[in-house]
Amino acid sequence: MLNYVPESLNVEIDGEKLHFDKTYMIVVNNGRFVGGGMQMTPKARIDDENLHVIIVHSILKIFLLPIFITVYLGLHTKFTKYVYYKKCKHVKASFTTPQITQSDGEKTADVTSIDVKSTGKTIHLKAF
């Protein structure tokens, strides 16, 4: 974390164009949990067709760890100065330098843009 240099990010969310300086991460998710219990997108519901976007930006590195700890309780979204959170249907993002992305745990290197759309389908999960 100490060596990471935050990047400039251009993003379009449901047609609204935004720019973030010093972006640490962007997360596009349709479920509430990631990584074994972290509530990255605490308002997301896997049984609807919405995407949820989190952008962590413009924060001093000294505050990253305290805010990261609050992810387990889903409280990081309260830090609105540093954590942008929005529900949407379509996200396009472009990075100034190649980045590493993850989708369902699979990494892809040298990515300069992403385009994520809701399919309009609802996911129904039945536990057996």
Domain harbouring 30, CATH code: 2.60.200.40
Could you give the 3-state DSSP secondary structure of residue 69?
A: helix
Task: Write down the pLDDT at residue 100.
Answer: 92
Task: Write down the pLDDT at residue 90.
Answer: 93
Is residue 79 a part of any domain in this protein? yes
Task: Write down the pLDDT at residue 104.
Answer: 81
Measured on CA atoms in the order 82, 115, 15, 122, is the torsion positive or negative? negative
Is residue 124 a part of any domain in this protein? no
Domain carrying residue 101: 7-117
Is residue 2 a part of any domain in this protein? no
What total number of domains does the chain contain? 1
Is residue 127 a part of any domain in this protein? no
Q: What is the pLDDT along the chain (128 residues), one digit of tens a residue?
A: 778 899 999 999 999 999 999 999 999 998 999 988 999 999 999 888 899 999 999 999 999 999 999 999 999 999 999 999 999 999 999 999 999 999 888 899 999 999 999 987 765 555 44
pTM: 0.91
Is residue 125 a part of any domain in this protein? no
DSSP label of 30: S
Is residue 20 a part of any domain in this protein? yes
Is residue 123 a part of any domain in this protein? no
CA distances from 41 to 50, 96, 117 (A): 11, 25, 17
Measured on CA atoms in the order 116, 48, 52, 85, is the torsion positive or negative? positive
Is residue 52 a part of any domain in this protein? yes
Spatial separation of the C-alpha atoms in residues 29 and 26, rounded to whole Å: 10
Spatial separation of the C-alpha atoms in residues 108 and 60, rounded to whole Å: 27
Spatial separation of the C-alpha atoms in residues 60 and 105, rounded to whole Å: 27
Task: Write down the pLDDT at residue 127.
Answer: 43
